[in-house]
Chains A and B, each alone.
Chain A
Amino acid sequence: MNIHEYQAKQLLARHGVAVPAGDPCKTVDEARAVAERLFAAGHTLIVIKSQIHAGGRGKGTFTHGFQGGVKLAKSVDEAVNFAGNMLGKTLVTKQTGPEGRVVQTILIAAAEMIKKEFYLAVLLDRAASRPLIMASTEGGVDIEEVAAHTPEKIIRENVDPAVGLMPYQTRKIAAALGLKGDLFNQACKLIAAVYKTAWETDAALVEINPLCIVEGPGGKEAIVAVDAKIGLDDNALYRHTDIQAMRDLAEESPLEVEASKYALNYIKLDGNIACLVNGAGLAMSTMDIIKHFGGEPANFLDVGGGASKDQVAAAFRIILSDVAVKGILVNIFGGIMDCNVIATGIVEAVRETGLKLPLVVRLEGNNVAAGKKTLAESGLTIISGDSMSDAAQKVVKATRAA
């Protein structure tokens, strides 16, 4: 699960990470109040940031023509004008797709004078099966570019889960970032707090980019997390009710939300051949084989190992809600599950939804003869596929003809 920047900063602040002063706002009135408070506190520049789960906000464009999802303001009036141009409006960035996202919340924060930018992240090192802290002097830029072109500028420090992050490790990182004196000590404290946030919230990723040395109102330098991104481990959400409440359904595809209600694993893609499969690996490779034979998959859909008739019916409704879909491929390897139960579910779903699109079904496994008989005797025009490649070729052909 992903959360908004302002929520990530709330979690970080709760664990002792310094973040710029500011607050989220859902209305222009709230924005005015926050802006007034920040200027009254002595800040001379503030930033208004659209809160959506997609990158590229600063260079994004709103559908009503307003440029930029992140803006700097020197006065309350300026801030209020920006807030009015963002709240309730649709922001399109390179990551949102052409449909964009509606900005429901903005974050207004002090925009302190940035002296230097760093990168800091905590993530899982799969090869080591341990948490990894990644840091770099190259902050504020795309870290993948840094890793590709100047890998020596990336500092990597694994954490032993038996003892947790040790203070000497934070000192190693701070020294490698070239920090001295008070800033060195501040960085050590901040790195420890960022790691604590990641571990205690069961985050899959905590990324601070940029982490900045800023000059505060009194000319005093400090290290703060100017931007932050947190992705949570879905498997661990059950033990974090406070974080569950941060889920923003408006940021998720409505069909994916609907599918999750039926314990279906559905991801919408851009093609026109829908697929319904049991098992994640088989579902991925069904998409691949459609593409291999010249088609374009419309979705990933794993109905799980023990799919029920109700799940099959729900899966058909969800697939058919995607108007781009022009053909359907059902690929079931019923190892334990009874193919005839699946076949009955398919027949019922086809009747219920009045399906007109070409449907290719490949059934294999337990009680497959009875399943094929049920399909054949249903009187419905269901195309039978003998193997994955036979079924994929048939659905690609039928979709082209439709």
Chain B
Amino acid sequence: MAILVTPQTKILVQGITGSFGAKHAQLSLAYGSQVVAGVTPGKGGQLFEGKVPVFDTVSEAARQTGATASAIFVPPPFAADAILEAVDAGLDLVVCITEGIPVNDMVRVKRAMQGSKTRLIGPNCPGLVTPGEGPQSHGGCRIGIAPGYIHKKGHVGVVSRSGTLTYEAVWQLTCRGVGQSTCVGIGGDPVNGTSHLDVIKMFMADPETHGIIMIGEIGGAAEEEAAEWIGRFGTKPVAGFIAGATAPPGRRMGHAGAIVSGGKGTAQAKIDAFRKAGIGVAATPSEMADTLLRMM
């Protein structure tokens, strides 16, 4: 069953005619995902790649195609509006890939989303993949920018704030013949829609997921929050890695949220929380898969 999306999930792409959105919409189509609509205001009526209809509004696209999930590729100044348009259209899932959204915009978006049924993943994230049954996991659901072919259908859930570090973990698993249920990049911004803990709870409840890799990094306390819950309620093996042990305090390490400030959000505090919760800690990023496999 996997979490959040299945190979049947119908996807629309907001910003499908921009170069970034177009490229990744094509890659999702090539992976066999159900990209059924695009949205670009003013370009309604066009066809993307000669087959995917483009609409002016999200609600029109959802109504006419039955799309329930959205991938957002619009530039940062327009991203908050794009997210709330997808929420207004009643979609189940909105995945915002856009990097560089002002923090205050996300503060307002999260407030406005309170009480809505829509789940937001991201922003500033690689998106998510539920691998398919075909060769190189073809036929799965790919929403976002992750490389599809590195996946393999199986039973490990992966959740991470970082894109390439997620791919690293997924590839380690696939190279060892171990597949994934769903891989979720929750994004590197300080204010995001879905936390580590949200995804961990879904993995724990998903019968297809037998073990979890949780990848965190410096900044904030979301990893500690997830670890505490796992320590109390976790029912499946979890291995983890925290990036940024060598990062100097007070500096933002690429991701807007990756910063140790006021002595808070250090790698050591997160690693300690992992250990306390019985999470297997990978000493280096090369050992993420092996650390989990030893526990399973």
Contacts and interface: CB of A to CB of B under 8 A. Distances in A.
A267 B286 contact: no
Given A285-B244, A333-B164, A333-B167, 4 more contacts: A233-B103, A285-B285, A287-B246, A287-B247
B188 interface: yes
Given A279-B163, A279-B164, A129 B262 contact: no
Contacts of A282: 162, 164-165, 168, 243, 285
Contact of B254 (A162, A283, A291): A283
B191 A236 contact: no
14 contacts: A127-B220, A148-B263, A233-B103, A267-B253, A281-B243, A282-B165, A282-B168, A288-B267, A292-B284, A333-B171, A365-B171, A366-B147, A388-B286, A390-B286
Contacts of A242: none
Given A235-B100, A288-B244, A335-B150, A387 B190 contact: no
A285 B103 CA distance: 25
Nearest to B188: A280
B165 A131 contact: no
A153 to B, nearest CB: 15
Contacts of A175: none
A238 B102 CA distance: 9
A147 interface: yes
B164 A335 contact: yes
Interface string B253-295: 1111110001100010000000000000001111100000000
Nearest to B265: A126
Nearest to A389: B286
A126 B191 contact: yes
B146 A335 contact: yes
B43 interface: no
B147 A284 contact: no
A144 interface: yes
Contact of A284 (B108, B247, B256): B247
Contacts of B110: 129
Sort chain B's interface into a size bin.
Answer: 35 or more
A388 B285 contact: yes
Contacts of A365: 147, 150, 167, 171
Contacts of B104: 161, 199, 202, 233, 236
Interface in A138-193: 143-144, 147-148, 160-162
A331 to B, nearest CB: 9
Interface in A177-227: 199, 202, 204
B95 to A, nearest CB: 16
Interface of B: 27, 76-77, 100-108, 110-112, 145-147, 149-150, 160-168, 171, 188, 190-191, 215, 217-222, 225, 241, 243-248, 251-258, 262-263, 267, 283-287
A364 interface: yes
A162 B190 contact: no
Interface of A: 124, 126-127, 129-131, 143-144, 147-148, 160-162, 199, 202, 204, 233-236, 238-239, 265, 267, 269, 277-285, 287-292, 297, 300, 302, 305, 333, 335-336, 364-366, 387-390, 392
B167 A292 contact: no
B231 to A, nearest CB: 18
B244 A202 contact: no
Contacts of B102: 202, 233, 235-236, 239
B245 A288 contact: yes
A277 to B, nearest CB: 8
Nearest to A199: B104
A304 B186 CA distance: 18
A208 B276 CA distance: 37
B198 to A, nearest CB: 13
B1 to A, nearest CB: 26
A131 B221 CA distance: 16
Given A278-B164, A285-B241, A336 B254 contact: no
Nearest to A198: B104
Given A127-B221, A289-B285, A297 B246 contact: yes
A302 B257 CA distance: 15
A161 B104 CA distance: 9
Q: Can you list the 10 inter-chain pairs with the closest CB atoms, starting with the nearest?
A: A281-B162, A280-B254, A279-B164, A335-B147, A236-B102, A281-B165, A389-B286, A282-B164, A284-B243, A285-B243
A267 B107 contact: no
Nearest to A233: B103
A292 B162 CA distance: 20
A143 B101 CA distance: 29
A226 to B, nearest CB: 21
Contacts of B163: 279, 281, 305, 335
